[in-house]
Amino acid sequence: MATWKTLLLQDSASPLMEQLAYFHNHTLMILVIITVLVGQLMITLFFNKLSYRFLLEGQVIEIVWTILPAVTLIFIALPSLKLLYILDEVNNPLLTVKSIGHQWYWSYEYSDFKSIEFDSYMIPVNSMKPYNFRLLDVDNRLILPFQTQIRLLVTAADVIHSWTIPSLGVKIDATPGRLNQVSFALSRTGLFYGQCSEICGANHSFMPIVVESISPKYFYKWVSDTAEA
């Protein structure tokens, strides 16, 4: 999760987030090069007393400063479009989970198994344990197996919410009367925190999301125990 000293993106916990981080670094490198180049040109113009008498109506330089930005945009657009299609791709999921946003909590349904559904509320401050994170921990976590292709169906029961886990690179709107879907795979075990990212009312800041990634073996055991209970 993000801490007070986190300046950049959170550590990735899915292949999608890794690709987003690569694209972020790629774009940032291009922006730094442009900023340094333009800064150097501006400093040169400010401190250089010489003037170039052929600068006005120069067809060559106009062609150059039109083509170079176009080429730069192509280098940004191509990886961006590729990544956009990868994020929207949902292929052969091994597990489907439905998430429903409410004011102000989340409920989850495991569509592949019978009678596994529960609500997930934020733990109040007066009920927290010493190891809980304030405003981030919930009473019932979303349990998912790692290294498994997961499809998440997202909707809402009242107003628009947004199901977001930054370390997974997942942010999807929960819209009443509509099912949105996203696919992701967890690359490691751990606890991953998120929050509703769409202003949905007075308690918008108090409906966190916690994903607990465990091994498939323990996930099947959890499913068996939960279904029997």
Question: What pLDDT does 229 receive?
Answer: 62
Domain residue limits at 221: 93-226
User: Strands 142-145 and 117-120, how do they pair?
Assistant: unpaired
Residue 205 lies in a domain: yes
Q: Are residues 149 and 213 in the same domain?
A: yes
Last residue of a domain, one of 39, 70, 86: 86
Last residue of a domain, one of 86, 110, 132: 86
Question: What pLDDT does 111 receive?
Answer: 83
Q: Are residues 161 and 59 in the same domain?
A: no
Return the structure tokens found at 202. Answer: 């007075």
Residue 7 lies in a domain: no
- What letter represents residue 188's amino acid? R
Residue 200 lies in a domain: yes
Q: Are residues 179 and 133 in the same domain?
A: yes
Domain count, the chain: 2
Q: Are residues 130 and 219 in the same domain?
A: yes
**DSSP H or E stretch at residue 165:** strand 161-165
DSSP state of 206: G
Q: Are residues 118 and 200 in the same domain?
A: yes
| List of the chain residues with pLDDT < 50 | none
Q: Are residues 28 and 99 in the same domain?
A: no
**32: domain CATH number?**
1.10.287.90
Q: Are residues 139 and 201 in the same domain?
A: yes
Question: What pLDDT does 1 receive?
Answer: 64
Question: What pLDDT does 207 receive?
Answer: 93
Last residue of a domain, one of 86, 109, 132: 86
Which residues touch 101 (CB under 8 Å, ≥6 apart)? 154, 155, 156, 157, 158, 161, 162, 163, 174, 196, 200, 207
Helices (H), the chain: 15-47, 59-88, 216-228
Cβ-contact 161, 151 below 8 angstroms? no
- What letter represents residue 75's amino acid? F
Question: What pLDDT does 192 receive?
Answer: 92
Return the structure tokens found at 74. Answer: 């192509």
> Could you check whether the bond before residue 104 is cis, i.e. omega within 30 degrees of 0?
yes
